[in-house]
Amino acid sequence: MAQQSVSTKMESTKKTAHKGKKLRVAIIGCGGIAQTHLDVYRTYIPEVEIVAGVDILQERLDVMEEKWGVPKEALFTDWKKMLAEIKPDAVDVCTPNHVHCAPVVDSCNAGCHAMVEKPMAMNPRECEKMIAAAEKAGVKLSVGFQQRYRPNTEALIEARDNDQFGDIFFVKVRALRRRGIPNWGVFGQKELQGGGPMIDIGVHMVEAAYELMGAPKPIAASGNTWTYMGNTDSKTRCPWPGWDWKTYTVEDFAVGQIRFDNGAIMQIESSFAAHIPHEVHNFEIIGTKGSCNWDSGEIFTDLHNTMVNINPAYLGPTEWGSLFRSKLQNWVDGCLKGSELQADGYDGLNVQKILDGIYRSAAACKEVTIK
């Protein structure tokens, strides 16, 4: 696990007495990502019982009844009413970003454990509210960062712990799509999402890279954003055509640089649309004793006075379902057994501070302090 120099990890919580029984989970937000969660629960985590669904769209509630067997009387458009009537043990929040904070806080106040999809919230202040509610209630709060469960992430963290890299001083993060503006949901509306590619897909690579760095304290951010394609009626053929360009208010491309208290630098590039050869989702870390490529798991170092490349022969499964299985199982085990969460609220807060710093710097046109 990464060192927690930014904030103390959430302490082992009091509400863990679910041993020997199923965890009664309510889904808040029953759209696309929730369907992935539900499939993982049904296929791999039998200790979970889905007891309720909440969504503002009736067609999604119909799917909860018809596909997942949730009875009509356990389907709601208001999570507060659901919490009062169903009294679940835990909630899995799969709503758009602007509806992360409120249901998590209300659920924690009702004594429920909570899983919330990435990013944790719209800004650090919301994250702090969520953490405070969970700690006050003594419940588990986990954030859906699945990339930290990839075998290459875990293998490279072990290498870091064995001092393979020495002092890590530079990280280059890229989450780039050539033309991948989402044509569903509200991903193009800043007031509902908080931003575009940086907060939507950049967050995955930032979080995994930050974990591998050892979670040093971020102290300053500089960055900029550009919008030049998403808000136009483009006729260019692409894999995801027909996005709502009229309501598009997020960036197409964002860059940022984060300075940490140990002198390290993280540079970040993220795009929904850019004139680049191909998509890139990767990061590279450079240290005083070695470096690595996250995607391949390769390590570059010196051995016997020779420069060597260490290539893993096998890392393990990396398909989407296995990553979701790992992250959801970790949360469920934390709720039922009181075990440690690998991605808790403080992890979500620290990543949010990085993203928020870049957006604040872009708006101010200067470097900003991260408190």
Q: Are residues 165 and 88 in the same domain?
A: no
Domain contains 10: no
Whether 18 has a pLDDT exceeding 90, the answer reads: no
If asked whether residues 329 and 358 sit together in one domain, one would say no
Q: What are 207-266's pLDDT values in tens digits? A: 999 999 999 999 999 999 999 999 999 999 999 999 999 999 999 999 999 999 999 999
Q: Is the pTM higher than 0.85?
A: yes
Number of domains in the chain: 2
**140 and 281 part of one domain:** no
How far apart CA 264 and CA 354 sit, in angstroms, is: 14
Domain that holds residue 328: 23-145+321-343
- Which of the four pLDDT bands, split at 50, 70 and 90, describes residue 15? low
Q: How confident is the model at residue 320, as a pLDDT? A: 78
Does residue 348 lie in a domain region?
A: no
The band of 20, judged by pLDDT with boundaries at 50, 70 and 90, is low
- Tens-digit pLDDT profile for residues 36-76: 999 999 999 999 999 999 999 999 999 999 999 999 999 99
**Are 139 and 153 in a shared domain?**
no
* Pair (122, 185) in one structural domain: no
What span, in angstroms and rounded, lies between the C-alpha atoms of 332 and 277? 41
Q: Could you tell me if 157 and 305 lie in one domain?
A: yes
Q: Is residue 168 part of a domain?
A: yes
359 and 218 co-located in one domain: yes
Please state, rounded to an integer, the average pLDDT across all residues of the chain.
94
Domain shared by 220 and 194, yes or no: yes
For residues 191 and 281, state if they share a domain.
yes
Q: What is the pLDDT of residues 80-104, one digit of tens each?
A: 999 999 999 999 999 999 999 999 9
Q: What is the 3-state secondary structure (H, E, C) of 25-41?
A: EEEECCCHHHHHHHHHH
* 17 belongs to a structural domain: no
Residues 134 and 207 in one domain: no
Q: What is the CATH number of the domain that holds 74?
A: 3.40.50.720
Distance of alpha carbon 240 from alpha carbon 238, whole angstroms: 6
Q: Write down the pLDDT at residue 64.
A: 98
Q: Tell me, what CATH number does 224's domain have?
A: 3.30.360.10
